[in-house]
Amino acid sequence: MICEAATAFGQNFFHIWLVTTLLGVATSMVLSGSSFARLYWKPTFAQWQYKSNPKFPKPENVRTEILLTLKCIALSTIFPSLSLYLSAHGQSEAFCGWGGRSLTWHVLSALVMVATIDFFEWFYHYCGHQIPFLWKGHKSHHRFYNPTPFSVIADEAVDQLVRSLPMLLSVIIPINMDVMFTMFTVMFYGFGVYLHCGYELDWPDAHHPVINSSYQHYLHHAEGAVGKPRHTGFFVKIWDQMLGGDVTEENFKAGKCGCAKCSRGRGERTLEAFQKVERVDYSPLLKPSFWLEAFADVKYA
């Protein structure tokens, strides 16, 4: 399907960008929106017991997440669109279908691609917490200390452009376009929804030795700052563990782990505690007037 789209719109870069942006918005709203509706609209006691932060964010925060996401989608689709454009004009190594290669080649190349991009995403994210210049742009993402599924790419321009750079790998490396686009949509954005959803799973829980859980990313949002690169990894903990950025186990050994599992174990997620949590009404998100308020203070020259 990706290749067909490149062929159909490949003569005009703007058309490719517009189509990929609209598809990006639709995908984001479906994946993030469905998760938000299930976990935040009318949360149950059983669900709340798995929430990393027992409190719920205000609708104004969610609105900001969504507005930033829409802006970032328009930016993050530039390089993917360029990749499609170059492919349509025969100026890249991208190919469709099997490309004369075996199933083994495709599987191995996909695994190498995931590992390489995961390392790249971690390294750039790590640098964003160590280099003041990069932190200046990245800190905007950390305003969402109690994130929802809408905050996956609620970043600023530089972060989105750099993180979408791997989509240009097809210019120099033979890559199946369908595999690459599916991987970024399902694996990277889909897993990103899980990391930002604010809720934890029984597996992988916060103490899984290899896989990053949503608790690690919640902790990253809540405590990460310049000079504090905690849990900056995406799929795996290996990169953080190499440089001492995995603090979950340290907190656990010190008896300070705040994950939902440990909180339940300490008897902190009782029905009585749930009844004391303020219920947040998110229905304003469905009202146009609520969205117009976000632009009320904008000054025009």
Confidence of residue 250 (pLDDT cuts 50, 70, 90): confident
- SS3 of 199, please? strand
Question: Is the pLDDT assigned to residue 301 strictly greater than 60?
Answer: no
109-142 pLDDT tens trace: 999 999 999 999 999 999 999 999 999 999 999 9
Confidence of residue 300 (pLDDT cuts 50, 70, 90): very low
Give every CB contact of residue 53 below 8 A, 6+ residues apart in sequence: 146, 198, 218, 222
Q: Please tell me the pTM assigned to this model.
A: 0.93
56-115 pLDDT tens trace: 999 999 999 999 999 999 999 999 999 999 988 889 998 988 889 999 999 999 999 999
Confidence of residue 183 (pLDDT cuts 50, 70, 90): confident
| Amino acid identity at 91 | Q
Q: What is the pLDDT of residue 235?
A: 96
Q: What is the pLDDT of residue 294?
A: 92
Question: Is the pLDDT assigned to residue 262 strictly greater than 90?
Answer: yes
From residue 291, how far is each of 39, 67, 256, 279 by CA, in Å? 22, 9, 39, 21
Average pLDDT of span 178-192: 89
The number of beta carbons lying within 10 Å of the beta carbon of residue 122 is 25
Question: What value does the mean pLDDT of the chain take?
Answer: 93
23-51 pLDDT tens trace: 999 999 999 999 999 999 999 999 999 99
Q: At what angle do helices 13-36 and 2-9 cross, to 10 degrees?
A: 140
Dist. CA 40–CA 58, nearest whole Å: 11
Q: What is the pLDDT of residue 99?
A: 87
Average pLDDT of span 247-267: 92
- Exposed / middle / buried, residue 281 (Cβ in 10 Å: 0-12, 13-18, 19+): exposed
72: nearest Cα among 157, 151, 13, 166: 157
